[in-house]
Structures are given as C-alpha cells and as structure tokens.
Amino acid sequence: MRIAIIGGGPAGLMAAESALAAGGTVELFDAMPSLGRKFLLAGRGGLNLTHSEPTDAFLARYGSRRRQLEPLLTAFGPEQVRAWAAGLGIETFVGSSSRIFPVDMKAAPLLRAWLRRLRQSGLTVQVRHRWDGWEGNQLRFVTPDGVRLVQAEAMVLALGGASWPKTGSTGGWVPLLRDRGVEIAPLKPANCGFDVGWSEFFRTKFAGQPVKTVGLVAKGVDGEVLRRQGEFVITERGIEGGVVYAVAACLRDVIDAHGKATLRLDLAPDRQLPRLIADLAQPRGKRTVATQLKRRAHIEGVKSGLLRELLPKDVFNDPQRLAPAIKSLPLTLTAARPLAEAISTAGGVRFEALDERLMCRKQPGLFFAGEMLDWEAPTGGYLLNACFASGRIAGAGAAAWANEQAGA
C-alpha cells in the first residue's frame, strides 16, 4: 500500500510518522528545497510546542472548532507532545507563561532528529515537487525535471494555509480542491496585525516600540466581550503581536461585518479607576502634564504617546475624564493586515466535508491535516499541537484506508 503525503511541515511529518507506524509505504513530497521551513521560522524566537494550562481552558482556545478538534487533542495533547519530543531526545520545560518549549528553545535539533528517525523508519522524501492536482487517477507534480505522475492508494494533504508564502504555504491548493468538489471556507488572516492610521508624528516616533503591560477589551460580532492582558507592538500601520493575536479573530470578524472595530486599551491595568482619579487629581504645581502622568500614573513613553494621539487636548487637564480614558482608551482598527503577513490562516477544508479520520467523504482516500483544515487558534503552542494531532489522525486514517482497499 503506497501512501503519498504532500507537505513537509509538522502536520505532514506527523502524518508520515503515523502512516509508517501502521506499516504503510510512505513517500513525502514538498515543493520547497527542504522540509519544515515554516516550522523552523516559527522557532526562531523559541519553539513553542504546546501549552500546559488545564484541559478545558486549552480546548477552549479552539473556539467554534473545539468539538471537532477535541478528539484529536485528547489523543495527542500536551502530555503526548512532550513524551513524543522526549522520544526524539528533546527535553522540554514549562515556561513562566505556561508555554512548553524545548530546553534549548530551538526548532532545528528537533527537526533533524525527527527526519532522521522518519528516514530510518523507511520514509522516502521528494523535495522540489510542487503538487499540481490530478491527471486521471494519478497525482501530478511539477519538478525541475518536468512533470511527474505518481500513483498512490491514499494521500494526505498537509500543505498549510496561505500565511508566510515564502515558506511554501501559498494556498495554491484552493482551486485544485474546489474543482474536485471539496468544501472550503474562505481563507482569512489569523493571529494578525491591524491597521490604525497613525499620525505621521506618532508613526515616526513610536513604530517598533512595545506597549507593556496593557489590558485589552474587544467585543465580538455576537456581543461576546473578550478581556486579555499582555503586550503588543506599534507598527508603521497599526498594531500587532502578543495580546493582539489573542483577540485577532474577534476583531477581524467585526471588521468584516462592520468595516471597522474598536479595541479598548487599559494602560494602567494594575490600578483601579478611583485610585487613578485620585492620583491624577493631586496638585501638579509647575510640573507638566507629561511629568504628572509619569509620576502619578506611571504613564510615559509610548503609552503617553497613545494618549496624545487619541485624546483631545482638553482631556489632559481634567482627571475625571483623563483617568477613565487611561483605563478604557478607544482605538479604532480599520483593517486586518494581509493574509501573507499573518502568523496563521483561518478557513480551509470544512470539517463537515470530512469523516472522523479526516478523509473527504466525496473523495475517498483523500485525507487532510494541519492548517489546511478550517480552524484557528491563538499563538502559544495551540497551533503546533493541533497540527501534530491532526497529522497523526490523518496519517493513521490513510494507512487504514489503504489496508482496507488492499483487502477488499
């Protein structure tokens, strides 16, 4: 039984691993010259494999797709990810944010150990093979040496979404699958930044600076209120990073529905409003407003700049108006940044079109894994864990399907 895995990221590699464990003859194809490019790029700041928070909170991070992903993540969740990494000789630890990392924080050693074990288990790898659909019942690949046709009893597509296209995740698979009748939700940016429309002064002075620590309040299309605390970064066009990604899906959907979204910032999350009013009402004498903000509210630098950017001048002389603004500063977002800039992709192959093994009901023998599927989650290890878990299920399902066909 020959199984083709198309896509050499974490979902595709995990699919190959589980298919090999089931006794399949597995060949993995990737369009790029080497495997795991987005995986390596994601690990530059420290490879966040998964998260150690309680199970219910962990599963809640998958939002509307929790029900579909829960069986996958129950079978291969944070504990299993850590055990799997240990089996590759990669020890992990729980960081102060409850995120789980390799001890050396690097992606490359894990990827090398993983590929070595896969090849020792019999995996055949073909790089510079761009999947181009089907020709009859055969898979069609475009290679430097021309078109190559491949016959396989089952195939797993793990081609990623459409974010970070330089790593090979281009979303070029969408029209190929739609032509075959596969149901696909539109691809959208997830874990993305947003446009604000700063003044030239603010953009020039503060672009690239982090805003620490703030509270965020975002209201969803359905009226749900999300509250998060953390930090983010001012960009040339708006905001991105950290806590913004945690509410990005909500903000994106509001912008899609209404053309803009309002995010409220708490620039002094460690102070209650009555105390802040009292502190700012203290006589400032000859001190400037900037000095008073710094001394009485610990507001300076980029936080002070945000207040100047977003509030009328007369507010600064009235503690009864200034303090509430510091605690709930409205920031209007006009657009999500383009999908190519996003950390991850929302949308993709709908779970409703798949069975419990992630096989397409309309295309028996065709399985899907990873970011190609219609789900999203915030950063923090949730993305990688779901890619691992879905790859594991799809690879095992493909092997089982091929066995069933061989015995039919």
Closest CA to 50 of 58, 42, 38: 58
Which two three-digit tokens encode residue 193? 């930044």
Alpha carbon of 56 to those of 75, 90, 95, 156: distances in Å? Answer: 15, 27, 20, 29
The four Cα atoms 224, 227, 228, 233 give a dihedral, to 10 degrees, of: 80
Taking residues 216-237, what's their average pLDDT? 93
Question: Order of strands across the sheet with 329-333?
Answer: 329-333, 261-266, 210-219, 225-234, 238-240, 194-195, 335-336
Give 237's DSSP letter.
S
Query: Is pLDDT above 80 for 101?
Result: yes
Confidence band for 339, pLDDT divided at 50, 70 and 90 = very high
Confidence band for 264, pLDDT divided at 50, 70 and 90 = very high
Query: Is pLDDT above 90 for 1?
Result: no
d(CA 208, CA 231): 13
The four Cα atoms 194, 32, 364, 146 give a dihedral, to 10 degrees, of: 130
Q: In the prediction, which pLDDT does 21 show?
A: 95
Q: In the prediction, which pLDDT does 286 show?
A: 80
Q: In the prediction, which pLDDT does 172 show?
A: 93
Confidence band for 283, pLDDT divided at 50, 70 and 90 = confident
Which two three-digit tokens encode residue 31? 């369009």
Residue 359: what residue type? M
pLDDT in tens, 73-84: 999 999 999 999
Residue 150's SS3 state is strand
Query: Is pLDDT above 90 for 287?
Result: no
Q: In the prediction, which pLDDT does 24 show?
A: 83
Residues of the chain with pLDDT > 90: what percent?
87
Q: In the prediction, which pLDDT does 210 show?
A: 97
End-to-end Cα spacing for the chain: 13
Which two three-digit tokens encode residue 131? 């999947």
State the pTM of this model: 0.92
- Partnered with residue 367 across adjacent β-strands are 156, 359
The kind and range of the H/E element at 397 are helix 382-407
Which two three-digit tokens encode residue 199? 């003044």
pLDDT in tens, 299-313: 999 999 999 999 999
Closest CA to 331 of 301, 302, 293, 298: 302
d(CA 243, CA 240): 8
Taking residues 341-361, what's their average pLDDT? 96
d(CA 163, CA 93): 28
Mean pLDDT lowest among 41-45, 140-144, 360-364, 385-389? 41-45
Which two three-digit tokens encode residue 183? 């149901």
Residue 192's SS3 state is coil
Query: Is pLDDT above 70 for 112?
Result: yes
- Partnered with residue 239 across adjacent β-strands are 194, 234
Closest CA to 86 of 107, 103, 99: 103
d(CA 406, CA 249): 44
Residue 62: what residue type? Y
Between helix 10-21 and helix 108-120 the angle, nearest 10°, is 30
Q: In the prediction, which pLDDT does 72 show?
A: 98
Q: In the prediction, which pLDDT does 47 show?
A: 92
Burial track 120-156 (b if 16+ CB lie within 10 A, e otherwise): eeebebbeebbbbebeeeebbbeeeeeeeebebbbbb
Torsion sign over Cα 359, 362, 363, 368: negative
- Cβ neighbours of 331 (radius 10 Å): 17
- Taking a C-beta distance cutoff of 8 angstroms, is the pair 1, 397 a contact? no
Query: Is pLDDT above 90 for 35?
Result: yes
- Taking a C-beta distance cutoff of 8 angstroms, is the pair 358, 204 a contact? no
pLDDT in tens, 139-176: 999 999 999 999 999 999 999 999 988 888 899 999 99
Query: Is pLDDT above 90 for 407?
Result: no
Torsion sign over Cα 130, 115, 374, 222: negative
Backbone dihedral angles phi then psi of residue 157, each to the nearest 5 degrees: -95, 120
Per the prediction, the chain carries an average pLDDT of 94
Alpha carbon of 235 to those of 198, 219, 275, 335, 385: distances in Å? Answer: 9, 23, 32, 14, 29
The CA angle 5-160-336, to the nearest 5 degrees, is: 175
Q: In the prediction, which pLDDT does 96 show?
A: 85
Query: Is pLDDT above 80 for 408?
Result: no
